[in-house]
Structure 1
Amino acid sequence: MQFPESWLREFCNPPLTTQQLADTLTMGGLEVEELRPVAPPFSKVVVGEIKEAVQHPNADRLRVCQVDAGQGALLNVVCGAPNARVGIKVPLALVGAELPPGEDGKPFQIKVGKLRGVESQGMLCSARELRLSEDHGGLLELPADAPIGVDVRSLLKLDDTIFTLKLTPNLAHALSVYGVARELSALTGAPLQQPKFASVALGHQDRLAVKVSAPDLCGRFSGRIVRNVDTQAKTPAWMVERLARCGQRSVTALVDISNYVMFEFGRPSHIFDLDKIHGGLDVRWGRPGEQLKLLNGATVTVDDKVGVIADDVQVESLAGIMGGDSTAVSDATRNVYVEAAFWWPAAIQGRSRRFNFSTDAGHRFERGVDPSTTVEHIEHITGLILSICGGEAGPVDDHAVKLPEPRPVTLRVARAAKVIGMPLTQQQCADALARLGLDVTEGAGTLTVRPPPYRFDIAIEEDLIEEVVRVIGYDKLPTTPPLAPIQASLRSEARRSRFVLRRLLAALGYSETINFSFVEADWERDLAGNAAPIKLLNPIASQMSVMRSSLLGSLLQALRFNLDRKAERVRVFEIGRVYTRDAAVATTDTTVRGIRQPMRVAGLAYGDVDGLQWGRKAPGSDFFDAKGDVETLLSPVKAQFEAAEHPAMHPGRCARILVDGKDVGVIGELHPRWRQQWELAHAPVLFELDLDAVQARPVPAFVPVPRFQPAERDIAMIVKDKVTHAQLLAAIRSADTSGLLRDAMLFDVYKPKQAAGGVAADEKSMAVRLTLGSAEATLTDEQIDGAVQAAIDSIAARLGGRLRG
């Protein structure tokens, strides 16, 4: 919100400089984001009247003007503006004047010079040359009653400052110049100029039939008919100037009046062309399928969640947001209906975003607008209409059907002192609240406040505490060191931090990504097999409509983004939260009922393992590269991998990850269907694990270095094709009853194309190296042979294998 300082000081004028004023507002919670002058510095620019304008003897586009600047003698000024004519008053830069800097950044000084042989004793200025606007189509024409010779800065009140405030949503009562002045008066103690709304004289008794059918939409609806209005009347210069300094361009007199009152008192209003209304007005919820062409030219379709103002034939306005084109005032309008209403904030909130636009009116109504002043503001708007556009006013119709009931809020002085962190007396709290214009009732150590109708933000005790501390002043808060004992929170040695995991994955060549938790619904269906994802009621974009239950889609999007920018090797990971439905979850300070929010870590590998190099041919990343990374990530915990199926992964190249028999994640190659859909030249390998399982690690237990050399034996077992590596090692380890087996590692697999060497067509040979040892003594041949034979017998019994001859 922006406004000129001069307008603010008309309501409240404390003895403060501009910067002090801005600092006071900021410390009071109304952050002043920017201060900028209305006009840049310039000097010796006065009002001049052109008395004579003749053609330049040596130039077709120049004129020689005789200008009266109030100095007795006329000044000879050469000018090339197309609108330089006799009788107008324009800014005249006298000799010695300094104009605002040009594109080179240097001030421009006016000197006596000659243009095509004719002496020029100054310069007539456009608005752009004075940096008042970008208009350079001609001279800036000043009011006809402007005194000749007066400094233009004082005439146009250019020694003013534009305040830009960054207001939080709870400060709806400060969305007007008067609202800010009311806050400034409370903060400084300077008197506030209370507005007076005089009733206008009635010229007729006509009324428009109005029915409020939805009290939960509109609590109060006020309006009146004004006849014989001159809609082509010109908006006064003072109003145009103030609107411009609030960032609002002038449109027509009626529109400008409505906007002016909105900026002045925070009261959005609407003016209908009375003759275009069919019958009466009905304030109601919309009906599915109803359409309305708005003032901005867009046509929208409403439903029963959007409030409207309709007549007997059609919808005429979006309630509290924007009027319709069919009843808009035009140059041909003669009779108007002026409306001011109170719309319930909950009935307006979010409606503008449905139609992808926002308005100043909607911005105010969805935060709350004072319902008690609709009639007074109608009188104020009517008075401006009659003074600018003429006309005859009718009586005000006021329909108050359901107004907010102020609920008393109690402040405990002791509680306020504890929260604020400084000693407070009851009198201090009462004075602070009274300065804000709040109705305060004192009790024993308590203050009870009935919020005024313009304060929608006061609902709980903490709201009053905030009001007290900002009026007393945040700069008054003492610097108090903490008194609570400080106790370090030590993380268990059996749990790794997320930072350690990030460092580990980065050391493996992965780059971290951070993605939105909002994803496309297609990702959840295709990649997570989630047919009923958690949907957002108000998504920020159509492609971000559901909460993710897997991190894989986000990583694939990051891969696609990098491939589009010619990346050949991509290895990325993310540590983030996912969201799944779980009826067992209850609402707490960190959870939401029915939604489980676990943390997961996921990674993606695409392209060559080591990138381009000369030492060896660079194969692409495969399942076993990523499997090694997962084992490193889980180390020293030993994980088991079992064949599995996953919606996002290749049916034959996917495994679930088990730790101590518990399923903690999945790893696999992207499904060919999704690889084709994402237009990937190679299939990436992905993995996703529960973060808790990755963070857990056993506390190291130290053992002495073995004193005796281990023994190694190799065995080759013939087994069926369906036997897996994990099954083979499990059979070997189950046979180690003596505790001599230190390690078993598969080092060769032989599968002939046809039956040969004792290996059938449906069989394969798996060679395993057994490492045996004891901490007590060197193993004997009998012990070694016994351990090896036990392993062979276990494989034969459990898997039907036999020793390869």
Structure 2
Amino acid sequence: MQFPESWLREFCNPPLSTREIADILTMGGLEVEDLHPVAPPFTKVVVGEIREAVQHPNADRLRVCQVDVGQGALLNIVCGAPNARVGIRVPTALVGAELPPGEDGKPFQIKLGKLRGVESQGMLCSARELQLSEDHGGLLELAADAPVGGDVREVLQLDDHVFTLKLTPNLAHALSVYGVARELSALTGAPLKAPKFHPVEPRHDARLPVKVSAPDLCGRFSGRIVRNVDTTAKTPQWMVDRLARCGQRSVTALVDISNYVMFEYGRPSHIFDLDKIHGALDVRWGKPGEQLKLLNGSTITVDEKVGVIADDREVESLAGIMGGDATAVSDATRNVYVEAAFWWPEAIQGRSRRFNFSTDAGHRFERGVDPALTVEHIEHITRLIVDICGGEAGPMDDHVVRLPEQRTVSLRVARASKVIGMPVTPAQCLDAFTRLGLPAREQSPGTIAVQPPPYRFDISLEEDLVEEVARVIGYERLPTTPPLAPIAARTGSESRRSRFALRRQLAALGYQETINFSFVEERWEKELAGNDDPIRLLNPIASQMGVMRSSLVGSLLQVLRFNLDRKAERVRVFEVGRVFLRDAAIQTTDTSVRGVRQPMRVAALAYGSVDGLQWGRPAAPADFFDAKGDLEALLLPRRAVFEPAQHPALHPGRCARIVLDGTPIGHVGELHPRWRQAWDLPLAPVLFELDLEPVLAHPLPAAQAVPRHQPVERDIAVIVGDAVTHDALLGAIRTADTGGLLRDASLFDVYRPKQPLTGIAAGEKSMAVRLTLGDPDATLTEAQIDAAVAAVVARLQSALGARLRG
């Protein structure tokens, strides 16, 4: 919010300096982000009128002007501006004047001199030379009634300052000069000059039929017809200057009037070309497929979630945001329809972002605009139109459909004292509300009831009233008190490791952490995660980031591709991140969104040589077993089971499901050849993805006494079918009934004869296992050893059909 100080002081003029006003506004919650003078200092620049302008005798581009500056005698001034002509009044720097400093930082002083042999007794100035703007196309032409000889600083009111406020979203009532003045009056106690809106007498009976079909979009719609308007009329200079100091350039008189009232009272409005409206107006929600060309030249497609103003033929305006090009006023316009409405904030919020633009009107309406003064503001706009552009006003047409309920909010004084941190009395609270214009009464001892006025959309809770009391009393008066809450260190559970410990362990295994967007390409979801119904974004930040990811695999492959494009030969990366899955059982809470489950996962990818550059052994690319080994190290001391499985992103024969404590927690494997070819990867990366929660579980270590008796080792070789796996063999051995004597079992040899041998048939193989047996309390006897070995052999025979090799 930007505005000049002089405009603010017209409504509230406290006996304070500019800096003091800025400090009070900031401490009152309206942060002054910037404060600067309208014009830099300069002296002896007056209004001069060019009485004569002739060609310079020695220069084609120069003119010799006779300028009246109110001193009796005319000044002879040489000027090269293209618009130097007889009759105009321009800023004239007299001899001895000091103009704003240039690029060297030194003031520029005007001296008596000669240009091409002709004496020049001053200088005619452009806006850029006075540093009023960057316009250097010619002299700054002043109003025709500017007093000759008058100080330019007084004529243009340059001894003024521009305030720029950084407002929080709840301060919609301060998005106008009058709104800031109202706050300044409450904070300083200076009187507030309330506006008076005198009705404009109707000159005809014409009305435009209006129907409000969407009460949840528009609560009040007011308008009137004004005929025979001169749209080519020039905007008064005082209005142009005020708009410029609000950061708004002048367009046309009608547009400037609408903008002026918006900055003055915070009321966005719209002016239609009446003759371009077909039939009646209908305020409704849009229909899918309807199109509208806006005033900014873009054409948008609306749907049933966007409010519009339509006539009998087409959509004419985007409700509360921007008007349409079809009914825009032009120089040929003669009859207009002035509209001011109350749009429900929730019906406007977020609509501009859907179309990738924002407007001053939408910025105000989505925060809340006073619904009580639509008629009064139209009266004000009408009077400005009649005074500047002429015309004949018609009767007011006001449709009140549904206005916000004014709910009473209660404040407990004791609660306010506790939150603010200093004692406050009911009298102080009532005084604060009175100064703010909030109707308040003492509901009961220690409780105050407040009725928020229509323009205060930010007061709905007791805490909102506490804030109002605190800022009127003054934040600078709040005492500095140390916190009294006890601080106790929270110890983490030893049976659970932190995410940072997990990250450190992965880094110790040689992986580097990467952080990626949760938004990915829809193609990744279908190809790499098998997700045909991903969660789509309404307004993606880029076309290739249109859905929420349900797997981390695509993000890691993108990181791999990025590194390979930069000549990396060995890549090991991991990510700990959130994925997003559809789940109808999830309800909306403080940490969840209905229908979306958001678990955390950890994923890693290895590509290229296992060891990097070294000389000790032949180089080999990372394979399935390297990733499996890293996984086993990550999960220690727990042991996972790896089962053959299928995954959309992984090689069909080199993929395993990871089962921990009987529960599947993820997959590990080599990238599918199809995707390796699609991503143009010279080697196949191996990767794994796990649910994070099971990985963070970390069982407590249990101390065990060192065995006092030496273990016994026995080797057995069994013949089994060729399809029997290592896991199946060791699983059967561990389930054998050895009386608790089996400590460990290790496979140390697998033999497949190239030609059939005695005892080993085709389709069979020999697997040799070393059994480690022991008893912590006694030395094993041969009978115990033989019984344990026999139990293992019997278990292998019953479970796998194995037999001892002869």
TM-score (norm 1): 0.91
Matches within 5 A, 1:378-527: 378-444=378-444, 445-527=446-528
Q: State which drifts further: 104-113 or 390-399.
A: 104-113
Name the aligned partner's letter for residue 492 of structure 1: S
Name the aligned partner's letter for residue 694 of structure 1: V
- Whether contact under 8 Å (1:178, 1:264) holds in the other structure is yes
In structure 2, what is the equivalent of residue 314 of structure 1? 314
1:360 aligns with 2:360: yes
Corresponding residue SS for 1:703: coil
Name the aligned partner's letter for residue 139 of structure 1: L
Q: Report how far residue 612 of structure 1 moved.
A: 4.1
- Whether contact under 8 Å (2:513, 2:574) holds in the other structure is yes
- Pick closer, same or farther for the CA change 1:629–1:33 going to 2, 3 Å: farther
In structure 1, what is the equivalent of residue 632 of structure 2? 631
- Pick closer, same or farther for the CA change 1:635–1:308 going to 2, 3 Å: same
Q: Report how far residue 681 of structure 1 moved.
A: 3.5
Matches within 5 A, 1:529-544: 529-535=530-536, 543-544=544-545
Q: Report how far residue 646 of structure 1 moved.
A: 2.1
1:274 aligns with 2:266: no
Q: Report how far residue 107 of structure 1 moved.
A: 4.9
In structure 2, what is the equivalent of residue 574 of structure 1? 575
In structure 2, what is the equivalent of residue 243 of structure 1? 243
In structure 1, what is the equivalent of residue 673 of structure 2? 672
1:113-133, CA deviations, whole angstroms, 9 ceiling, x for partnerless residues?
A: 554454545443322233322
- Pick closer, same or farther for the CA change 1:589–1:374 going to 2, 3 Å: closer
In the alignment, the residues of structure 1 paired with residue 615 and residue 94 of structure 2 have an alpha-carbon distance, to the nearest angstrom, of 78
In the alignment, the residues of structure 1 paired with residue 66 and residue 615 of structure 2 have an alpha-carbon distance, to the nearest angstrom, of 85
Name the aligned partner's letter for residue 153 of structure 1: R
Matches within 5 A, 1:171-182: 171-182=171-182
Q: State which drifts further: 19-28 or 245-254.
A: 19-28
Name the aligned partner's letter for residue 571 of structure 1: R
- Pick closer, same or farther for the CA change 1:620–1:14 going to 2, 3 Å: farther
- Pick closer, same or farther for the CA change 1:793–1:292 going to 2, 3 Å: same
In structure 2, what is the equivalent of residue 222 of structure 1? 222
Corresponding residue SS for 2:215: coil
In structure 1, what is the equivalent of residue 163 of structure 2? 163
Matches within 5 A, 1:676-691: 676-691=677-692
Q: Report how far residue 504 of structure 1 moved.
A: 1.7
Name the aligned partner's letter for residue 346 of structure 1: E
Name the aligned partner's letter for residue 305 of structure 1: K
Q: Report how far residue 146 of structure 1 moved.
A: 2.5
In the alignment, the residues of structure 1 paired with residue 86 and residue 753 of structure 2 have an alpha-carbon distance, to the nearest angstrom, of 108
In the alignment, the residues of structure 1 paired with residue 98 and residue 732 of structure 2 have an alpha-carbon distance, to the nearest angstrom, of 96
In structure 2, what is the equivalent of residue 695 of structure 1? 696
Gaps spanning 5+ residues in structure 2: where? none
Name the aligned partner's letter for residue 460 of structure 1: L
Gaps spanning 5+ residues in structure 1: where? none
In the alignment, the residues of structure 1 paired with residue 419 and residue 540 of structure 2 have an alpha-carbon distance, to the nearest angstrom, of 36
Q: Report how far residue 204 of structure 1 moved.
A: 2.3
Name the aligned partner's letter for residue 249 of structure 1: R
1:368-418, CA deviations, whole angstroms, 9 ceiling, x for partnerless residues?
A: 211111111111001111111111112211121222221222222222223
In the alignment, the residues of structure 1 paired with residue 559 and residue 429 of structure 2 have an alpha-carbon distance, to the nearest angstrom, of 55
Q: State which drifts further: 411-420 or 709-718.
A: 709-718
Corresponding residue SS for 1:484: coil
- Pick closer, same or farther for the CA change 1:250–1:586 going to 2, 3 Å: closer
In structure 1, what is the equivalent of residue 604 of structure 2? 603
1:532-586, CA deviations, whole angstroms, 9 ceiling, x for partnerless residues?
A: 4455566555655544433333333333444444444332222233343445555
Corresponding residue SS for 2:482: coil
1:216-238, CA deviations, whole angstroms, 9 ceiling, x for partnerless residues?
A: 22221111111111111111111
- Pick closer, same or farther for the CA change 1:282–1:679 going to 2, 3 Å: same
- Whether contact under 8 Å (1:753, 1:761) holds in the other structure is no
Matches within 5 A, 1:106-185: 107-112=107-112, 114-185=114-185
- Pick closer, same or farther for the CA change 1:133–1:418 going to 2, 3 Å: same
- Whether contact under 8 Å (1:39, 1:132) holds in the other structure is yes
- Whether contact under 8 Å (1:607, 1:682) holds in the other structure is yes
Corresponding residue SS for 1:219: strand
- Pick closer, same or farther for the CA change 1:332–1:585 going to 2, 3 Å: closer
Corresponding residue SS for 1:558: helix
Number of residue equivalences:
805
1:88-126, CA deviations, whole angstroms, 9 ceiling, x for partnerless residues?
A: 232334455444454555554545555445454544332
Corresponding residue SS for 2:247: coil
- Whether contact under 8 Å (1:38, 1:160) holds in the other structure is yes
1:161-206, CA deviations, whole angstroms, 9 ceiling, x for partnerless residues?
A: 3322222222221211111211222222222111111112333232
In structure 2, what is the equivalent of residue 372 of structure 1? 372
Q: Report how far residue 250 of structure 1 moved.
A: 1.1
Name the aligned partner's letter for residue 187 of structure 1: L
In the alignment, the residues of structure 2 paired with residue 784 and residue 398 of structure 1 have an alpha-carbon distance, to the nearest angstrom, of 102
Q: Report how far residue 449 of structure 1 moved.
A: 1.7
- Whether contact under 8 Å (1:670, 1:685) holds in the other structure is yes
- Pick closer, same or farther for the CA change 1:41–1:508 going to 2, 3 Å: farther
- Pick closer, same or farther for the CA change 1:757–1:405 going to 2, 3 Å: same
Q: State which drifts further: 17-26 or 653-662.
A: 17-26
Q: Report how far residue 214 of structure 1 moved.
A: 2.6
1:2 aligns with 2:19: no
In structure 1, what is the equivalent of residue 648 of structure 2? 647
In structure 1, what is the equivalent of residue 82 of structure 2? 82
- Whether contact under 8 Å (1:754, 1:760) holds in the other structure is no
Matches within 5 A, 1:257-296: 257-296=257-296
In structure 2, what is the equivalent of residue 733 of structure 1? 734
In structure 1, what is the equivalent of residue 59 of structure 2? 59
Corresponding residue SS for 1:443: strand
Q: Report how far residue 752 of structure 1 moved.
A: 6.3
In structure 1, what is the equivalent of residue 335 of structure 2? 335
Matches within 5 A, 1:194-209: 194-209=194-209
Q: State which drifts further: 234-243 or 578-587.
A: 578-587
Name the aligned partner's letter for residue 58 of structure 1: N
In the alignment, the residues of structure 2 paired with residue 261 and residue 281 of structure 1 have an alpha-carbon distance, to the nearest angstrom, of 24
Name the aligned partner's letter for residue 689 of structure 1: L
Kindly report the root-mean-square deviation, in angstroms, between the aligned alpha carbons of the 2 structures. Answer: 3.1
TM-score (norm 2): 0.91
Q: State which drifts further: 87-96 or 425-434.
A: 87-96
In structure 1, what is the equivalent of residue 347 of structure 2? 347
1:445-478, CA deviations, whole angstroms, 9 ceiling, x for partnerless residues?
A: 2111222111122222222222222222222332
In the alignment, the residues of structure 2 paired with residue 268 and residue 350 of structure 1 have an alpha-carbon distance, to the nearest angstrom, of 17
Matches within 5 A, 1:99-110: 99-103=99-103, 107-110=107-110
